[in-house]
Amino acid sequence: MRARLAVLVALAAIFCGTGLPAGKVVLVVTADASDYILAAGGTIAGMIDGGATAYLVRLTNDEKDSWDLSTEEAARRTSEESRQAAKILGIKEVISLGYRAGELGGVSPTELRDRIMFYMRLYKPDILFLPNPYAHYVEVYDRFYTGEAAEEARHAAALENYEPPFAVAGLKTHLVPELYYYAQPFDPRRSEPESTATFAPQPKVVDIAAAFDKKLRAAQALKTISYSMAMRVKQRLESTGRRLPLLDSADDASVQKLVEINVRKLGQIAAEKSSYKLGEEFEYAGEAYQIPSKYLSRGGK
């Protein structure tokens, strides 16, 4: 316990000594390098353009999402590309926690919660982006475990009896008032509210037309992951006797074009039920989340 406390004190002294920026603070939690970009990159970039400061906590190394690379080389490349992508969006700092991809199910949920909670109390964000753990048909289970841990961390960060050593290290409790639950838009049922706005996060579509170019360039910066995606698409097509002419050469230009098609189509799908041309959809819990309407002030009374 003493050793752990000493580490926390040291970390708090290093981080807190730099001071935190004025204005809105955004904390983005993601399981991997690409998920938050494809699902929420435009919204995050728009907030940063509007004066917010954003930080990214990335849980895994993405070492398995590559083509014909060793795990070590894949982890090295994707880590650097993740930083480049975040920089394009305007994110101030990327924190990589270093877990093996595809193996978060074997990590203690309490450990994940507490590590994410550390950054909530450190940066004191006004807005939290987290993978939606309630989304259907998400094949990457790491995103579920990350969303679940981040949601619990948000709850725990506001209560002093969770990790008392954090307070000793100068990291006081903090409640994040706004949550954006993100997931890539492929399940239409997510657009249907399950309850009233008082007790359930509600569907929200954000116009990302102004920030789309940044989102696209950030996605294209993830070259290792994009190449892996392109080769797996080509492999699946060829296994059934089909082909995509764009991938006949599978060079950098064709892969980047495939990424552009994918990112643009995701934006169009998310915007279908709105007046926007390009959007991102969320389950949004704002300032009135879980406050019954009878307790909200009306007309100043």
State pLDDT tens for residues 192-247. 555 454 567 888 999 999 999 999 999 999 999 999 999 999 999 999 999 999 99
pLDDT higher than 80, residue 48 = yes
pLDDT higher than 80, residue 18 = no
CB atoms within 10 A of CB 251: 11
pLDDT higher than 90, residue 136 = no
Query: Domains of the chain: which residue ranges?
Result: 2-295
Q: What is the pLDDT of residue 9?
A: 46
Quickly state the pLDDT bin for 300 (edges 50, 70, 90).
very low
Tell the burial category of 260 from Cβ atoms under 10 Å away from its Cβ (0-12, 13-18, 19+): middle
Q: What is the pLDDT of residues 257-270, one digit of tens each?
A: 999 999 999 999 99
Q: What angle do CA 141, 143, 149 make, to 5 degrees?
A: 110
Tell the burial category of 236 from Cβ atoms under 10 Å away from its Cβ (0-12, 13-18, 19+): exposed
Tell whether domain 2-295 is in CATH 3.40.50.10320. yes
